[in-house]
């Protein structure tokens, strides 16, 4: 089928665009009929098939979608020893780590109903109309029920070379990303985007008790998908697998097939075992990604500068002669801390040769530094003994086995600036129109020395209006934003304080436990001290100790600052918990809900819970086709679990029997 599609599309292009036909009309019609017959026989239809007329659209906007299951990353490694440790003699499946944009395709009873970009892993974009213009995505597959498959949207390197013959684009990945963000879907077809499957996420017809990662990819190939090149890797205690050979083989295949890549992925063949390992908020534990150490570019070191953070840590940054890497010019790279700087550069000097690369092809980093042979004079770059901002003493301290440089001045203006910039940020107090540059000027002029002072900038209104870059309207706008931010939540307030180890999510969890009541927070922290909030999942003794120490040192300041705010209570849930204690599994096509995420939200807002598979603990299976032969329907019937339609679900939601 794919050979026929390519042949017929080439013939059509020659006929319509070159005036030099390469196939007679009779031959074209005959082969087109052969293709139609094959599509009927296999029940598979490709988007680029000449039997289909998929029109392009110019969209008004790109809608956001919440993924039914997260699209997380994988943990990274750089050595075969790490892969061996990860495998622990369990069979793996190796595949090329494609360098494109992760996308999810969702099919219902064989029809492509939605395509989603990865986005932040929880929420992405609805890119259905764009994906329908891809060269190789099936619009219809021979599958009943729900079928969800993840893969990579990309432009192959040979196609990219043709498109980029004038050198106007940096690389294929950036071009792919830009193309998918276009509202004009005709651009997608012109830029020859393709999609390669690399993991089946949901398959109603599969036997979930004995799923093989390899077999799922093999079946995807039979369904018409282009699948990432993959290879079985089996290792036993008495049979050592040479992972480096596998890696080299996969990278060779990627080169031969012109696939952009940045490494090799290894995943457990036993799907259920992989799922049992769970995930972190960042990555799944069912696989590991071997990242290729891309070649570094040589340049010379000019200096090492230090930037200060809100806790007073001074971070070294290498400044070097500008070099071109991965399509952009770079001249700075962080060295993270004193230990890493010493490990990479030894005793650095001006003019030292260094190797620069982009970590994960994004972040500039140093790979190596020229070794000091002590045979010639060097202009060494010393570690500063004083803070470059406040010029007070700086000392090296041990932090988790690493050496860090810290400013000892509690009132350092640089440290204060970073703390205040954090406090006014969107996830904290969310004061619009108050930039770091403005804060810096206010600190230097003595208007601001703490978070509380921000809420009394009204006292300096006339002076601020006289400053260059400020006017009456801009100052009034700023003061209005400050006043607006006085209505806040306990979570935002806690996060704004820059308490060491206390992040945004932990602040939210504490706020929820305290019913968003500042007084409850104070009472718990004062009475329980280092045991406070440790019953909350994710809050350990280190964070509890950090909060306690911070409270003991600054409690009067915090109490005084709290008086500036009105802590808003969480909005009362206007819905009735008619589904309290009930668990629901969802499958099949939806009719009155636009997507699964909408139905999930509806269930949870009424006190119910959504599960991904049918077990004896499931209360209901929602499926508009109650007579479907999908695996979830079969399981529900065998366990005696009611299968209900959307209509019946809505009756339950309203409290009807």
Q: Which of 97, 189, 358, 508 is catalytic?
A: 97
Q: Using an 8 Å Cβ cutoff, are 309 and 418 in contact?
A: yes
Dump pLDDT digits (tens) for 72-99.
Answer: 888 888 778 889 889 988 999 999 999 8
Q: What is the mean pLDDT of residues 145-173?
A: 87
Looking at the chain, the number of H-run helices and the number of E-run strands are 23, 26
pLDDT at 515: 87
Judge whether residue 292 has pLDDT over 80: no
Q: Annotated binding residue at 601?
A: no
Strand partners, 404: 397
Judge whether residue 238 has pLDDT over 60: no
Question: Is 97 a known active-site residue?
Answer: yes
Q: How many Å separate Cα 360 from the centre of its chain? A: 13
Q: How many Å separate Cα 566 from the centre of its chain? A: 34
The mean pLDDT of the chain is 86
Residue 577: pLDDT band by 50, 70, 90 thresholds? confident
Q: Annotated binding residue at 412?
A: yes
Q: What is the mean pLDDT of residues 190-194?
A: 88
Please tell me the distance from the alpha carbon of residue 338 to that of residue 316, in angstroms, as a whole number.
Answer: 7
- Global pTM reads 0.49
Terminal CA-CA length for the chain = 52
Q: Worst-scoring range by mean pLDDT, 25-29, 95-99, 108-112, 535-539?
A: 535-539
pLDDT at 58: 59
Q: Annotated binding residue at 638?
A: no
Tokens of 165: 């013959």
Q: Annotated binding residue at 152?
A: yes
Q: Annotated binding residue at 291?
A: yes
Q: Annotated binding residue at 331?
A: no
Q: Which residue has the tokens 């006043």?
A: 483
Q: Are strands 487-488 and 566-567 parallel, antiparallel or unpaired?
A: parallel
CA distances from 13 to 6, 19, 22, 50, 504 (A): 11, 9, 10, 11, 55
Q: Which residue has the tokens 């036997």?
A: 207
pLDDT at 630: 75
Provide the percentage of residues in the chain whose pLDDT is more than 70: 93
H, E, C per residue of 146-213? EEEEEEEEECCHHHHHHHCCCCCCCCHHHHHHHHHCCCECHHHHHCCCEEEEEEEEEECCCCCCCCEH
Q: What is the mean pLDDT of residues 578-590?
A: 86
Q: Annotated binding residue at 436?
A: no
CA dihedral 161, 163, 167, 170 (to 10 degrees): -80
pLDDT greater at residue 612 or residue 302: 302
Provide the percentage of residues in the chain whose pLDDT is more than 90: 36
Q: Computed over its alpha carbons, how large is the radius of gyration of the chain?
A: 30
Residue 281: pLDDT band by 50, 70, 90 thresholds? low
Q: Annotated binding residue at 387?
A: yes
Domains of the chain as residue ranges with CATH:
2-42 (no CATH), 64-291 (3.30.470.30), 297-406 (2.40.50.140), 413-485 (1.10.150.20), 490-567 (1.10.150.20), 583-653 (3.40.50.10190)
Residue 267: pLDDT band by 50, 70, 90 thresholds? very high
């Amino acid at each position: 089928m794919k050979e026929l599609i390519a042949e017929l599309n080439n013939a059509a292009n020659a006929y319509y665009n070159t005036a030099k036909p390469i196939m007679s009309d009779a031959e074209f019609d005959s082969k087109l009929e052969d293709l139609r017959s094959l599509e009927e026989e296999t029940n598979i239809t490709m988007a680029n098939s000449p039997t289909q007329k998929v029109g392009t659209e110019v969209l008004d906007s790109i809608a956001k979608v919440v993924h039914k299951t997260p699209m997380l990353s994988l943990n990274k490694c750089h050595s075969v020893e790490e892969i061996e440790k990860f495998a622990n003699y369990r069979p793996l499946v190796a595949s090329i780590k494609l360098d494109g944009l992760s996308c999810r395709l969702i099919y219902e009873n064989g029809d492509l109903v939605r395509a989603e970009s990865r986005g932040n892993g929880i929420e992405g974009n609805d890119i259905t109309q764009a994906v329908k213009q891809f060269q190789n995505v099936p619009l219809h597959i021979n599958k009943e029920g729900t079928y969800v498959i993840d893969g990579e949207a990309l432009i192959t390197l040979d196609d990219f070379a043709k498109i980029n013959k004038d050198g106007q684009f940096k690389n294929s990945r950036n071009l792919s990303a830009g193309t998918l963000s276009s509202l004009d879907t005709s651009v997608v077809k012109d830029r020859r985007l393709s999609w390669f499957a690399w993991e089946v996420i949901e398959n109603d017809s599969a036997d979930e008790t004995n799923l093989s990662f390899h077999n799922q990819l093999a079946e995807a190939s039979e369904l018409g998908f282009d699948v990432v090149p993959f290879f079985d890797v089996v290792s036993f205690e008495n049979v050592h697998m040479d992972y480096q050979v596998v890696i080299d083989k996969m990278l060779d295949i990627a080169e031969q097939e012109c696939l952009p890549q940045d490494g090799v992925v290894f995943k457990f063949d036993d799907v259920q075992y992989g799922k049992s390992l769970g995930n972190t908020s960042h990555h799944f534990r069912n696989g590991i990604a071997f990242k290729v150490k891309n070649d570094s570019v040589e340049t010379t070191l000019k200096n090492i500068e230090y930037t200060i953070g809100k806790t007073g840590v001074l971070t070294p940054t290498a400044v070097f002669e500008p070099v071109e890497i991965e399509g952009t010019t770079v001249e700075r790279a962080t060295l993270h801390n004193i230990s890493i700087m010493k490990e990479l550069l030894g005793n650095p000097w001006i003019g030292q040769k260094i190797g620069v690369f982009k970590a994960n092809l994004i972040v500039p980093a140093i790979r190596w530094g020229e070794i000091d042979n002590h045979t010639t004079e060097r202009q060494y770059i010393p570690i500063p003994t004083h803070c470059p901002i406040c010029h007070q003493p700086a000392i090296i301290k041990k932090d988790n086995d690493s050496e860090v440089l810290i400013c000892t001045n509690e009132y350092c203006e640089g440290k204060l600036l970073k703390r205040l910039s954090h406090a006014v940020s969107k996830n904290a107090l969310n004061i619009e129109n108050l930039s770091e540059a403005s804060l810096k000027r206010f600190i230097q002029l003595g208007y601001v020395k703490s978070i509380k002072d921000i809420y009394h900038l009204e006292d300096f209104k006339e002076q601020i209006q006289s400053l260059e870059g400020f006017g009456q309207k801009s100052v009034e706008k700023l003061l209005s934003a400050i006043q607006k931010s006085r209505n806040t939540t306990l979570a935002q307030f806690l996060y704004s304080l820059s308490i060491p180890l206390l992040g945004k999510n932990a602040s939210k969890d504490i706020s929820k436990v305290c019913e968003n009541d500042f007084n409850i927070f104070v009472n718990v922290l004062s009475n329980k001290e280092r045991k406070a909030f440790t019953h909350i999942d994710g809050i350990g003794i280190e964070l509890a100790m950090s909060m306690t120490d911070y409270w003991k040192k600054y409690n009067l300041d915090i109490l005084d600052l709290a008086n500036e705010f009105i802590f808003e209570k969480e909005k009362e849930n206007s819905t009735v918990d008619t589904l309290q204690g009930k668990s629901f599994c969802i499958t099949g096509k939806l009719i009155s809900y636009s997507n699964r995420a909408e139905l999930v939200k509806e269930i949870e807002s009424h006190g119910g819970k959504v599960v991904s598979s049918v077990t004896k603990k499931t209360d209901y299976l929602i499926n508009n086709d109650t007579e479907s032969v999908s695996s979830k329907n079969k399981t529900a019937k065998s366990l005696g679990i009611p299968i209900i339609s959307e209509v019946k679900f809505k009756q339950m939601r309203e409290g009807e029997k």
